[in-house]
Amino acid sequence: MEALQVHPVDSEKREKRAITRALRVALIASVVLAVILLTLLATASGNTQLFAGHYPVLLWVTVGIAVVLLGLVLELLRRLLLRYRRGLFGTRLMARMAGSFVLMTVLPVALVFFVAVQFVGRSIESWFDVPLERALDSGLVLARASLDSQLSELTKKARSMAVELADTPPALLGPTLSRLRDQAGVQEGLVVTGTGRIVTASGSQYARLVPDLPPSEALRQARAMRLFARVEGGESASAPAAGRAVDAEPDLKLRVIAVISDGQRHDDQRLLQLVEPVPSVLASNAEAVQQGYRDFQELSLARAGLKRIFRVTLTLTFLLTMFSAVAGAFLLAGWLTGPLSELAAATRSVAGGDFRPVRDYAGRDELGVLTRSFNAMTRQLQEARSQVERNQRELEQA
């Protein structure tokens, strides 16, 4: 019995298989990279530091992967068109199966995409609801009004103490200042000249050793307007207005400077400074309200940018999913119709008297059973033909 032979794999078939394997590897690598990049992109969208430093890079790399997947899809479409023009068996079946897979994948993803875009747009708009903005404005006004009320009360105390200190002899300024400070319940009192030189100080031991000297700007304003009052420290201090200013110091405190007496020179002037810390609860609440209002204003300014960022992320997700689904559908359809094409070609060969078996299909499904059955049939036909040829030779020899 002659040895059975298998169809030789020529260079063209080897090249096609190599291209198909390359496409599969490229598709798998692109999908894996796309999933990783989309995860990082979504993380960067919700993380301010990561967003500022890496979002543009992640965005462009993801766009590059989308372009690669688009190239794969176009290449697969070109190969399908060439198969159709050549009239290869299984092309219509491949196109039908690929179209079915694409529809089953792309339509639900497209629906989710459009719903997500609408949801993101409405969610971002809900962040800037008018009642929320009014509540923040009211909270900010309430915090400033509370600070202004305390500042106004301290200003009244400073004016009253300045009037009494104006009639006090220089030798009695220290004891009088201490008595008035205790009566008013102020933490620190200080009498200075118009140039900022300390005349006397009253308060805690630390305040007497290291008094809180008034800034030169505050002294100039007090000399010009005969009064200076402001909330200092933090970013929730009241807005500058009518002799008020805001500094950026770590703790909120009230500073009031009132003129006690005038003189020909700045050094002959006497000014009273009262310093009172803002209660910690009020300071922390005012700072929290100011921070919330500032964050809200930043988000409001970035509203359009936020919508664009999330929509770009969702669009890239949709495109990568769609391109991956299309490429995967074509490869899967080709993988399913490949054995059928080989069986069709082998059937034509059998009709022409070529009984060589086809390449065994590695799968354990019905396609594998079909190829093994076909190979068994060709072997039986080959054996029958060999037996007929032997019998014919024997008859000729006889």
- Tally of CB atoms within 10 A around 253: 21
330 and 80 in contact (C-beta within 8 Å)?
yes
Tens digit of each residue's pLDDT (9 = 90 or more) over 344-387: 767 777 777 776 776 666 666 666 667 777 777 777 777 777 78
Global confidence as pTM? 0.47
Q: What strands lie across the sheet with 253-261, from one edge to the other? A: 198-202, 188-193, 270-277, 253-261, 227-232
Residue 280's contacts (CB-CB under 8 Å, 6 or more residues apart) are none
Confidence of residue 280 (pLDDT cuts 50, 70, 90): confident
Q: Which pLDDT score, from 0 to 100, does residue 336 have? A: 72
Is pLDDT at 211 greater than 70 in this prediction? yes
Q: How large a percentage of the chain has pLDDT more than 70?
A: 72
Residue 96's contacts (CB-CB under 8 Å, 6 or more residues apart) are none
Ordered structural domains, the chain, with CATH: 11-127+302-388 (no CATH), 148-279 (3.30.450.20)
Tens digit of each residue's pLDDT (9 = 90 or more) over 68-96: 878 878 887 888 888 788 877 677 877 88
Distances (CA, A) of 208 to 187, 269, 272, 373, 397: 11, 21, 15, 106, 137
Q: Which pLDDT score, from 0 to 100, does residue 14 have? A: 54
* Residue whose pair of structure tokens reads 């949709």 in the numeric block: 318
How far apart (Å, rounded) are the C-alpha atoms in residues 323 and 134? 46
Query: Which of the two residues, 14 and 28, has the higher pLDDT score?
Result: 28
Residue 205's H or E segment, with its range, is helix 205-209
Confidence of residue 264 (pLDDT cuts 50, 70, 90): low
Distances (CA, A) of 32 to 2, 28, 35, 36: 50, 6, 5, 6
Q: Which pLDDT score, from 0 to 100, does residue 364 have? A: 66
Q: Which pLDDT score, from 0 to 100, does residue 239 have? A: 39
Query: Which of the two residues, 27 and 15, has the higher pLDDT score?
Result: 27
With H, G, I as helix, E, B as strand and everything else as coil, classify residue 146.
helix
What six digits make up the tokens of 221?
A: 């304003």
Chain Cα centroid distance, residue 41: 6
How far apart (Å, rounded) are the C-alpha atoms in residues 358 and 6? 7
- With 0-12 / 13-18 / 19 or more C-beta atoms within 10 angstroms meaning exposed / middle / buried, residue 36 is middle
Distances (CA, A) of 48 to 53, 117, 295: 9, 21, 13
With H, G, I as helix, E, B as strand and everything else as coil, classify residue 47.
coil
Residue 300's contacts (CB-CB under 8 Å, 6 or more residues apart) are 128, 133
CA nearest to 4, candidates 391, 388, 383, 345: 383
Q: Which pLDDT score, from 0 to 100, does residue 139 have? A: 78
Confidence of residue 248 (pLDDT cuts 50, 70, 90): very low
Q: Which pLDDT score, from 0 to 100, does residue 367 have? A: 66
Q: Which pLDDT score, from 0 to 100, does residue 73 have? A: 81
